[in-house]
Structure formats: structure tokens, C-alpha cells
Structure 1
Amino acid sequence: MAPLTEHRLVSGPVVYGFLRLVRVSEARKEALVASLAEYSRSHELTLSGIFTERKEGADSGSGAFTGLLDVLALPDVYGALVPAVSHLGPRAIAAERGRRIEAVGSRLLLIRGSRHTRPSVTSITVAHCHSTEAVRLLESES
């Protein structure tokens, strides 16, 4: 008798994380990466990598964000995962980045929403898959 579907590893929706890490400690970075991984695991998403932005004055077209948009445009990529809207940058840049994520046909998933942001930026769509793969941290200096 074949095992039940629930006992088989099923590949599911792929997401990529995005972190804005300006002047944060290594412990804080590790905690944020762990929170993305745990959210993905608990919502049965496949976290394939995390793009990080480290420069304080980054605009809406930084190297890390451009890399995120590139992977979001790939087939079978479900969305972008961030701890909070603030990780997309200051309010004006975050709003623009939210629009650009939606423009490539992707979803923006927030671990923690904010009552001060637009509904389209804070909407959370949850999908399902089974994966506990290691997450690649994609560093960027822009």
C-alpha cells in the first residue's frame, strides 16, 4: 500500500524573503532570518532565498530589491516574504516597492502587518507546501 499524500514531501509555493538590515546586530539578523524560515515552515511555503539590503540611503531600485523582482518574475514563484512593511524601506519607498511587487504578478506576504499602511501592501495570502530546506541568504551591498 502506498503512503498517504500527507506522508510525502510535496513541493509547494516558492517565496523569497527580503530584509532591510541597516545597522543591525548579527543576533538581530539571525532572528529575522529565523522568523522568515519559521513563518514559511508553519505556512507550508518553500523559502528559497533571502535578499538583504544593507545601505541606509537605498532607493526603490537597489540591487537587492532588483534581484528580488527578478526572481519574483520567474515562473512558479509565489511571492515575497518580509517581517514587516518597514523592511521595504521608508514609507514612500515601501509603497513604491509594494506596487512593483504586485506589478510583476507576485504577492507580498507580511509576517506582521501595520495599521498605518495601505491594504494592498499589507494583504497576506497564504498557500501550502511541505519543505524544510535550508535557506540561502542572498547578500547585497546596495
Structure 2
Amino acid sequence: MVGGPVVYGFLRLVRVSEARQEALVASLAEYCRSHELELSGVFTDREASAGPGSVAFAGLLDVLSLPDVYGVLAPAASHLGPKAIATERGRRIEAVGSRLLLVRRSRPACPPIVSSTAAHHHSLGTTRLLDAES
């Protein structure tokens, strides 16, 4: 059997129960199973003050330089850290030629409201709908 593209998981777990940690790792494994990816390992930040260059993240960057590694998988962008740190980490992941995959993508707080008149006008043309995985 041929394995799918290789990914490594990344979790930020500060004061998290063992049950929650197991559930998050299981969600990464399920995502990989359903998307034909091979989860080769999971790196975990456990310190709230961990900056963009934490030991776990440095280890992750090291394995991303291995041949045939496709990218990084996290449950959500928040697992990369607070917004500024997450942005820097995302940039570093892309800089080494890897992709950042998220199990849950952030969504707008409120979905757009479409009136029935607007919906009727849109139905006259062709609308291409893309799911979150596109």
C-alpha cells in the first residue's frame, strides 16, 4: 500500500486535560484518514509564553526540511499561538515550502444576510460554490 502525503501535527496545549489532548490528536488522525494523508508525528507546545521559536516549533521546522514532507496539520490557527505568533509561524512554514492545513478554518462571526429578492436575482446566473476544502 502506498501512503499519502506526509504531514506533521502541531498542537498548542496549555493547561489541557489528557482527555482533551487525546481528542485533539484523534481529530488530526481522522482528518488525515479522510484526506489520505500520513500523520508522521505531532509536535506540542505546552508553554503559554512560547514564542515563535519554541523548542516544539523548531523541531517541527527541522522535520519539514525532510524529503517528501507535505506540510503541517493543526486543529485551528489558534494552535500556532496568539495571532502575531501564529502569523509568524505560518510564514515560516510556507518559507520552507510546506503547507499549513487546518482541521477547522476560522469563519466570519455572522454569515451574510441575503434577501429573497437578491437570492432570486442570483438564481438567474451560474454560481460556483466552493466548500472549505477547496
Answer 1 or 2: higher relative contact order, Cα 8 Å, separation at least 6.
1
Aligned residue for 1:63? 55
Between the aligned residues of both structures, percent identity stands at: 77
Aligned residues: 111
- Can you give the 5+ residue segments of structure 1 that lack an aligned partner in the other structure? 1-8, 117-123, 127-142
**TM superposition outliers: structure 1 runs of 4+ over 2 Å:** none
Q: Which residue of 1 aligns with 2:15?
A: 23
Deviation sequence 1:70-122 (CA, Å, 0-9, x none): 11111100000000000000000000000000000000000001137xxxxxx
1:35-75: CA deviation from partner (whole Å, max 9, x where unpaired)? 00000011110000000010010000000000001111111
Distance 2:72 2:30 in 1: 15
- 2:120 is aligned with 1:109: no
Structure 2: which amino acid aligns with 1:95?
T
Output the TM-score relative to the length of structure 1: 0.75
Q: What 5-or-longer segments of structure 2 have no aligned partner?
A: 109-131
Give how far 1:12 is off.
2.1
Structure number, greater radius of gyration: 2
1:89 aligns with 2:81: yes
Aligned residues: CA RMSD:
1.5
Aligned match of 2:35 in 40, 43, 48?
43
